[in-house]
Amino acid sequence: MGTIDAYWDANIDLTATVPLLNLYDTRWPIWTYQPQLPPAKFVHNQPDRRGVAVESMVSGGCIVSGTVFRSVLFSSVRVHSYSSVNWSVLLPGVEVGRGARLTRVVADRGCHIPDGMVIGEDPVADAARFHRTEQGITLVTRDMLRARLGRAMKVLHVAAEIYPLVKTGGLADVVAALPPALARAGADVRLLLPGLPAILDGVQQGTPWSTSATVRRVARAAAAGAHARHTLPAYVVDAPYLYRRDGGPYQAPQGQEWPDNLQRFALLGWVAAHLAAGDADPGWQPQVVHAHDWHAAMACAYMAAHPGTAAASVFTVHNLAYQGIFPMHDWPLLGLPSRLMSPAGLEFHGQLIS
Residues 6+ apart with CB under 8 A from 32: none
Q: How far apart are CA 345 and CA 63, in angstroms?
A: 54
Q: How far apart are CA 195 and CA 244, in angstroms?
A: 7
Q: How far apart are CA 194 and CA 29, in angstroms?
A: 60
The pLDDT value recorded for residue 184 is 76
Q: How far apart are the first and last CA of the chain?
A: 64
Residues 6+ apart with CB under 8 A from 146: none
70: nearest Cα among 21, 104, 121:
104
* Dihedral pair phi/psi, residue 339, rounded to 5°: -60, -20
The pLDDT value recorded for residue 225 is 38
Alpha-carbon distances of 283 from 153, 209, 247, rounded to whole Å: 15, 12, 35
The pLDDT value recorded for residue 40 is 96
The pLDDT value recorded for residue 196 is 92
Show pLDDT as tens, one digit a residue, over the chain (354 residues). 589 999 999 999 999 998 998 888 888 887 777 788 999 999 999 887 899 999 999 999 999 999 999 999 999 999 999 999 999 999 999 999 988 999 999 999 999 998 888 999 999 889 988 999 999 999 999 989 887 777 788 999 999 999 888 999 899 999 989 998 888 777 889 999 999 998 888 775 544 443 344 555 444 443 433 334 456 788 889 889 999 999 999 999 999 999 999 999 999 999 999 999 988 888 889 999 999 999 999 999 999 998 888 899 999 999 888 888 888 888 888 898 888 888 888 888 988 888
The pLDDT value recorded for residue 274 is 93
Q: Which residues face 131 on adjacent strands?
A: 139
Classify strands 45-46 and 105-107 as parallel, antiparallel or unpaired.
unpaired
Residues in the chain: 354
Q: How far apart are CA 21 and CA 13, in angstroms?
A: 8
Q: Is 324 buried (19+), middle (13-18) or exposed (0-12) by CB count in 10 A?
A: buried
The pLDDT value recorded for residue 226 is 36
The pLDDT value recorded for residue 213 is 45
Q: What share of the chain is helix, strand, coil (3-state, %, to 5)?
A: 25, 25, 45
The pLDDT value recorded for residue 1 is 53
Residues 6+ apart with CB under 8 A from 181: none
Q: Is 19 buried (19+), middle (13-18) or exposed (0-12) by CB count in 10 A?
A: middle
**240, 329 in Cβ contact below 8 A?**
no
Question: What domains lie within the chain, and their CATH numbers?
Answer: 4-150 (2.160.10.10), 153-353 (3.40.50.2000)
